[in-house]
Structure 1
Amino acid sequence: MASPLPVPIEFRLPDGWRPAPPDEVGASGAAFVALHPEPDAGFTANITIDGEFPPDNVGLPELADESVQRLHEVAESVVVLNRHEVGSEAAPALTQRLTFSAVVGGMRRDLVQSQVYLAMLDVDDPRKRVVIRTYLTATAAQHDTVLPDFQEFVRTVRPDTGAVP
């Protein structure tokens, strides 16, 4: 079942990407999914969003480690290619890129997942920190082609304060 985000956010999808109901595309637990318009060898690149209020003593690297462990439960050959802490002290973020092999649609596929963890303060209670996770999953062959779209997307993710621009 799709899960709501712990805080409202706003973002802009790259041209051509279309929203899809998380439960209908096998992404239960996600709050949002967008699909690329051009599948590669039967696999559709996707952007997925979820988030949580982590315990105060859990940092972004620990959350990234947990994501790797969860992926090990459904995929094989999970490798963390790189991980970087980015952002600022006020707005920390972490990026990591993983490769893995998984059976999707009855076929084994070599996939790449770029993950971005964005820490934000809860606009209703600034003492609380929320982490919004965004993922790009694509075939190894298509990943570098769709990565600029994902980077553009991540730059637009921000808390939705309800203010009209």
Structure 2
Amino acid sequence: MKNIPAESSETDAERPHDMEEYKQLTALFQFYLNQTVTTLNYTFLISGAVTSYILGTIGSDKPQISIYGILLPVAICFSIGLGFLKAIPSSIELKQALEAIKKRLNLQLVPHIGNLTRSLLWSGILLLLVSVSLLILFFMIKLDCKI
């Protein structure tokens, strides 16, 4: 009869817990990635619709107070872009947790959390650029600059 080290039996007992944690973290990754893409799409949808409406009212008989409506997409894009950038440390933490479980379970592959981190980074930067561009457009309209 072979002697099994106590460490080995502890590891075997922990593996179901590790596998459950792995499944939960993988589901969390999928949720985060889905929410990132969905939020980005709806942000562009709302911002584009409001901006199109505001640009359509320029030069018409409608009250020019509607021009201030362009500040709504500025605020939306800025706040969501900033939120995406602030979520990057959480995605890095999720990646580290999945990598640790991968080693403990001797798995070959884990979800590509780097995609989530890059999506958050580039989406955040893009939304901040859109908000700055819309703010510049607002001031150009207010100063009656020709576009």
TM-score band by shorter chain is under 0.3
Question: TM-score normalised to the size of structure 2?
Answer: 0.23
Of structures 1 and 2, the one with the larger relative CO (CA 8 A, separation 6+) is: 2
- Structure number with higher helix proportion: 2
- Structure number with higher strand proportion: 1
